[in-house]
Structures are given as C-alpha cells and as structure tokens.
C-alpha cells in the first residue's frame, strides 16, 4: 500500500497513512487540520486535513464527471474493478486492521478477521448481485415488463466512527456496483482507515473520480455535501439528530435518503431459554465499549428466572478481560473519545438522579479514562431517559416481565426500532414475539447474524430504508419499467 510522493502522511503503529483528501484520484492536503488521537492510550496519531465547502465542490464535480463512463460500463464492466478492490482489502489485512484498532479502539482480533473479511465480502457480494439485478421480467397478457435498475448519479456517503472500515464498504459496495459514483465523508473521530481504502481504490484501477473522500467535520464538509445541488442520493449512518438536519436539506431537492440511526434494542429472555446461551449473548452489549447500534441494551427477563439470570450475568461480566485491544485476550476496550465518555457518564449520573440503581459498574477502569466498566442499571421506571435514549456505551438496563404481553409492552416502549433479541426454546412463542415486536430485525437465540442478502434497517428513530441485497439497489438506482406490447417488435 503506497501513497503519492508529495502527500502528507502519518505513521500509525508502523503503517503509513495519507492524511489528505482523495479527490479525482489525487491527494489534496488542506491548510487547516484536525488532530486524531487513539482511544487506547491517547496517543496522537495524525493531523488530518479539514475539508471545506470548496473541497466538497471539487469532489462532487469529480464524481459527476466520472459518472457517465462508470455507469456506461454496466455491471459486467464494473465487475473486475470491484473484485480487484475486494481482493486488495484481504491482501492488506494487517495494515487495515492495525490502523482500525489504533483509530477506533476495537479489538485487533475482531478487526483482522471479522471486519476485514466482511469489508471484502461487502464489495464482492454487491458486484455479484449487480450481474443479476436487471434480469427481472414481469409478464402480463398484453405486455412483457422489463424492470431495470439504472444508476442514479453522485451519492453522498457519510459513515460512522464505530466501525468505519466495514461500514464504509457496506455503502461503497452497492453504490459502485449500481453504477453510481460517490463522495465519502469519513467520521472525524476515526478517519484513517477510510484513507487506506482510498489507496486501495486507486490500486484496483477504479477510474479517477469514481470514489472521492473528503475529511472534516459534519457542520462544515458534511453540511456542504448533503446540500450540494448535484447529489442524487444520501446515505447516512449516525444519530437521529444529525439525520433530521440532513433530511431537511434533502427535502429541498427531494433527494432520496437512507438512514441507519441506532437503537435501544430489547433482549428478551424467557424462562425456557438456554440461560448460558442467553447470558453469553447478553454480555456482547458490553464489548467494544458497548458502541454498537444493534446491541441488546434493554434486558427484559422473565420474572421466574430473574434472580438466577442476574447471578450468571454478573459472574460472566466480572470475568471479562479489560485492556489494550491489541491483546487477543482483551474483551473490553475503550470508548472512542473523551466527549463520548462524558456523554455515557452523563446518562448514568442522570439515571441515578432519577431513582435508578446501579447494580454494578457506573464508572471507568484504572486502565484509562476511556475504559468504561460494564454497567447494569436496575429499578427502572417507564419513561426514564436511560430506558428511552440510546447511550451507545456498555450500559444495559434491567426490567422483568411475567407474560408475553408484558414483554411486548416493554419491548415496544421506545421510539427506536432497529433490532431485538428473543431467547426461548419454543418456536411458536419465538414467532409470536417476532411478529409483534416493533423492529426492523429480530434475532432468535442468536445475535448480529447479518446475511448480506437480507434487509438491514429499522423503524422510527432507528432510521429510514433498508440496506442489504436488492434493497440496497432499490435505494441507489432509478428503477425503470419497460413495457413492451407482445409481438410488436420483430426479433433480431
């Protein structure tokens, strides 16, 4: 993985990373920069170029100029470029994983295997699917309908900081496979792996301007991007508050948007559940600093097993290893940033003020100010902030129920609706619950199984639209129906 000779770079745990934007296939360094520090130890990683509206203008212009030729290649013509990009991600596994861990604080074991592998599969899957997407034919007595998924233009892709490598490729994959070009705005708290992806895009031979990266802050680069007159799609993963701002900008030009905005997901455990399985899945909400949008952060436990389940949960959480995420034994890593740590602590402090009880946790470990303890909050009253709003930290609330109706009432008590978990050995109960829970996804006796062909997305404050499979092409494409009267056209 190399960078241009004149590009400003930083060394991140031995990996050279360009710190400038990537526009029209060229690096561009800004006079203004912002600092990036590792959440692991506070170490300064890089001074990164701070994008402006002018940088966004140039990036969108480059993407717009590259669009006609990229779209004209068709799925078959784009396929070799995308497959090579997917291969390069795997070939550069160590560099990508090293930088992602330093930048985000995610466990190196997870970034090396799950995140890198999934990033490569994101690209390959959508390249493969694009070859089949235009084969749909709908027959009727008078006409034959041919459904086309045509490229829509320049897409704005705004990615989050809790998994930038995987989540950026989750957007780039369908966007490019559909024939669109893109301007990516990486997260300001963790922009460095996106810079490495730009190098791999160039190495794969993807034409200049097809994908552009402009680093910077949401109120500057991000706002200029979503307000740009030449943007035809906006895909954003982040907070509901930011999504509302983006939606207002998109509304002026009726630009289609796709939002994945996090959740307050219920994890429902029935008395007949495999308790060891349920406990092992429950503690996942504490890993990676609890910074996962689908985490089951509201534990709803059937009253008859509540005491036993809490005992097992407490024992298992206490054994989780905290430390440097570069150590394979580490299970609990840091929060991303001091500002976010203060946000998490604020939720816990206000919960106590509201009358909640901290069963365990509620502060930081000795390992560092960003290493927050797994926290269980009990004595929850309906409507408390800690029950209603996403904390995005290793904080789980505890409530009990007696009947399925009570469990459903609790599960559906928030404005979020991204995902949910149900643990039971009754298939009938599992399907009854899944049908009644208000969420975009329900996992039964499992968690975070994300089949690329399946829809991913939520309801309410959790977002708009679905990602995955054909649902991604529904968003990134202009869908056209061609109705041909039967026998009206001579066959060639």
pLDDT (tens, 9 = 90+) of the chain, 492 residues, equals 545 556 899 999 999 999 999 999 999 999 999 999 999 999 999 999 999 999 999 999 999 999 999 999 999 999 999 999 999 999 999 999 999 999 999 999 999 999 999 999 999 999 999 999 988 899 999 999 999 999 999 999 999 999 999 999 999 999 999 999 999 999 999 999 999 999 999 999 999 999 999 999 999 999 999 999 999 999 999 999 999 999 999 999 999 999 999 999 999 999 999 999 999 999 999 999 999 999 999 999 999 999 999 999 999 999 999 999 999 999 999 999 999 999 999 999 999 999 999 999 999 999 889 999 999 999 999 999 999 999 999 999 999 999 999 999 999 999 999 999 999 999 999 999 999 999 999 999 999 888 999 999 999 999 999 999 999 999 999 999 999 998 777 766
| pLDDT value of residue 486 | 87
Cα(419)–Cα(442) distance, integer angstroms? 6
Under 8 Å CB-to-CB from 388, ≥6 apart: which residues?
Answer: 264, 413, 414, 415
The C-alpha angle 320, 290, 118, rounded to 5 degrees, equals: 95
Closest CA to 171 of 474, 468, 470, 478: 468
* Cβ atoms of 186 and 211 closer than 8 Å: no
- 293 an active-site residue? yes
Place of tokens 């004149």: 6
| pLDDT value of residue 492 | 60
Q: Which two tokens stand for residue 316?
A: 């298992």
Assign domain 9-261+462-481 one CATH number from 3.40.50.300, 3.40.605.10, 2.40.50.180, 3.30.450.40. 3.40.605.10
Strand order of the β-sheet with 477-485 is 137-139, 143-151, 477-485
| pLDDT value of residue 491 | 66
State phi, psi for 86 to the nearest 5 degrees.
-60, -40
Cα(339)–Cα(236) distance, integer angstroms? 21
Catalytic residue (one of 293, 387, 390, 477):
293
- Determine if residue 217 is left, alpha or beta; phi over 0 gives left, psi from -120 to 50 gives alpha, anything else beta: beta
Catalytic residue (one of 260, 387, 421, 467):
260
| Cβ neighbour number for residue 204 with a 10 Å cutoff | 18
- 446 an active-site residue? no
CATH code 3.40.605.10 region(s) in the chain: 9-261+462-481
Place of tokens 């669109």: 180
Cα(120)–Cα(84) distance, integer angstroms? 10
CATH code 3.40.309.10 region(s) in the chain: 266-444
Q: Which fold has domain 266-444?
A: Aldehyde Dehydrogenase; Chain A, domain 2 (3.40.309)
Over its C-alpha atoms, the chain yields an Rg (Å, rounded) of: 23
Annotate the chain with three-state secondary structure.
CCCCCCCCEEEECCEEEECCEEECCEEECCCCEEEEECCCCCCEEEEEECCCHHHHHHHHHHHHHHHHHHHHCHHHHHHHHHHHHHHHHHHCHHHHHHHHHHHHCCCHHHHHHHHHHHHHHHHHHHHHHHCCHHHCEEECCCEEEEEEEEECCEEEEECCCCCHHHHHHHHHHHHHHCCCEEEEECCCCCCHHHHHHHHHHHHCCCCCCCEEECCCCHHHHHHHHHCCCCEEEEEEECCHHHHHHHHHHHHCCCCCEEEECCCCCEEEECCCCCHHHHHHHHHHHHHHHHCCCCCCCEEEEEHHHHHHHHHHHHHHHHCCCECCCCCCCCCECCCCCHHHHHHHHHHHHHHHHCCCEEEECCCECCCCCCCECCEEEECCCCCCHHHHCCCCCCEEEEEEECCHHHHHHHHCCCCEECEEEEECCCHHHHHHHHHHCCCCEEEECCCCCCCCCCCECCEECCEECCECHHHHHHHHEEEEEEEEECCCCCCC
How far, in Å, are 217, 226, 237, 396, 428 from residue 157 at the CA level? 14, 9, 9, 31, 41
| pLDDT value of residue 135 | 80
| pLDDT value of residue 3 | 54
| pLDDT value of residue 295 | 95
Q: Which two tokens stand for residue 77?
A: 């013509």
């Amino acid at each position: 993985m190399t960078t241009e000779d004149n590009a400003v770079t930083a060394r991140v745990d031995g990996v050279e990373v360009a710190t400038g934007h990537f526009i029209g296939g060229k690096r561009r360094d800004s006079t203004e920069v912002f600092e990036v520090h590792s959440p692991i130890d506070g170490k300064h990683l890089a001074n990164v170029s701070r994008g402006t509206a002018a940088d966004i203008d140039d990036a969108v212009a480059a993407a717009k100029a590259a669009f006609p030729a990229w779209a004209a290649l068709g799925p078959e013509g784009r396929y070799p470029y995308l497959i090579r990009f997917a291969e390069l991600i795997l070939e550069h596994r160590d560099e990508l994983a090293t930088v992602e861990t330093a930048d985000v604080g995610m466990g190196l074991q997870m970034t090396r295997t799950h995140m890198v592998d999934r990033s490569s599969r994101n690209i390959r899957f959508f390249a493969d699917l694009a070859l089949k997407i235009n084969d749909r034919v709908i027959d009727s007595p008078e006409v034959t309908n041919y459904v086309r998924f045509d490229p829509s233009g320049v897409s704005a892709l705004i990615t989050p900081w809790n998994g930038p490598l995987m989540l950026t490729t989750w957007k780039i994959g369908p966007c490019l496979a559909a024939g669109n070009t893109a301007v990516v705005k990486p997260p300001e708290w963790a922009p460095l792996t996106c810079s490495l992806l730009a190098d791999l895009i160039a190495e794969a031979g993807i034409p200049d301007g097809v994908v552009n990266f402009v680093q910077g802050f949401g109120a500057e680069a991000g706002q200029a991007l979503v307000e740009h007159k030449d943007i035809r799609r906006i895909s954003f993963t982040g907070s509901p508050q930011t999504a509302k701002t983006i939606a207002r900008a998109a509304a002026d030009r009726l630009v289609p948007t796709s939002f994945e905005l996090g959740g307050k997901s219920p994890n429902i455990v029935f008395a007949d559940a495999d308790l060891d399985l349920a406990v092992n899945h429950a503690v996942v909400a504490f890993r990676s600093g609890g910074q996962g949008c689908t985490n089951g952060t509201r534990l709803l436990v059937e009253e008859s097993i509540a005491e036993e389940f809490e005992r097992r949960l407490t024992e298992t959480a206490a054994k989780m290893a905290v430390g440097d995420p570069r150590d394979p034994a580490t299970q609990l890593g840091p929060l991303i940033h001091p500002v976010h740590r203060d946000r998490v602590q604020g939720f816990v402090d206000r919960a106590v003020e509201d009358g909640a009880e901290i069963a365990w946790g509620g502060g930081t470990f000795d390992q560092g100010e960003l290493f927050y303890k797994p926290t269980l909050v009990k004595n929850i009253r309906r409507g408390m902030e800690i029950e209603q709003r996403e904390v995005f930290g290793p904080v789980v609330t505890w409530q009990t129920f007696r009947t399925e109706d009570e469990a459903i009432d609790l599960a559906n008590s928030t404005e979020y609706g991204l995902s949910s978990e149900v643990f039971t050995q009754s298939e009938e109960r599992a399907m009854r619950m899944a049908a009644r829970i208000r969420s975009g996804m329900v996992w039964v006796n499992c968690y975070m199984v994300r089949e690329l062909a399946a829809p991913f997305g939520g309801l309410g404050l959790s977002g708009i639209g679905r990602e995955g499979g054909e649902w991604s092409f529904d968003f990134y494409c202009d869908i056209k129906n061609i109705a041909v009267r039967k026998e009206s056209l001579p066959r060639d």
